[in-house]
Chain A
Amino acid sequence: EPEVTQTPSHQVTQMGQEVILRCVPISNHLYFYWYRQILGQKVEFLVSFYNNEISEKSEIFDDQFSVERPDGSNFTLKIRSTKLEDSAMYFCASREGSQGLQPQHFGDGTRLSIL
């Protein structure tokens, strides 16, 4: 069964450094998402992306964050200048599209640790 893949599985970065988290969504999917889960807290929505533009973003997704689909397969989340509070598990998800009843498929996540 097709799956969403995320790399790396674990990223350790110094505070203030830029980090790029990578995702390869399922190939025929049209909608892409990033979520994060701080240890011990809820899974939180960050951003959704469709037709090469952001369709919705949360309050968390400030100017330090950006997303990109640089080619036909990858979907990236960039954090420009990381803070300690960015430490979390980041999940990428994709959805086939056109109807809300189609579920989102999640990757295994990237654990981001900011030192």
Chain B
Amino acid sequence: AQSVTQLGSHVSVSEGALVLLRCNYSSSVPPYLFWYVQYPNQGLQLLLKYTSAATLVKGINGFEAEFKKSETSFHLTKPSAHMSDAAEYFCAVSGKAAGNKLTFGGGTRVLVKP
């Protein structure tokens, strides 16, 4: 069975500061890992994905994430927060079969202070 844990349900950062969102996963097989973002009243938008090609993955809006197998982690970072980054962020894991479901973490809501 797969599971995802996101540490911190809420994170507050100042504009221009580093954003760090933590994600740890549990999987019996090498997983695919995803970060999704949800803006208010919108659906889930893919930020980036890890599919074993490279451990450092770059996504949209300046976000990146690093896969660390030894730590079973896939933390999301952005060097400099922008007001538009205020949203909820979800880490998710799936197996490699085409029809495999996503298993989500609990989400982290990011507040950006001016």
By a beta-carbon cutoff of 8 Å, the part of chain A in contact with chain B is 4, 6, 31, 33, 35, 41-45, 48, 50, 55-56, 58, 91, 93, 95, 97-109
Contacts and interface: CB of A to CB of B under 8 A. Distances in A.
Interface residues of B, number: 27
B51 to A, nearest CB: 4
B10 interface: no
Interface string B81-114: 0000000001010111111111111110000000
B43 A100 contact: no
Contact of B32 (A97, A100, A109): A100
Given A91-B43, A108-B41, A100 B34 contact: no
A98 B107 CA distance: 28
Contact of A106 (B44, B105, B106): B44
Contacts of A45: 101-103
Given A31-B98, A45-B101, A108 B32 contact: no
Nearest to B105: A42
Contact of B36 (A31, A48, A50, A106): A106
Contact of B49 (A55, A93, A101): A101
Given A56-B99, A100-B32, A100-B95, A43 B49 contact: no
B42 interface: yes
Interface string B41-56: 1111110010100000
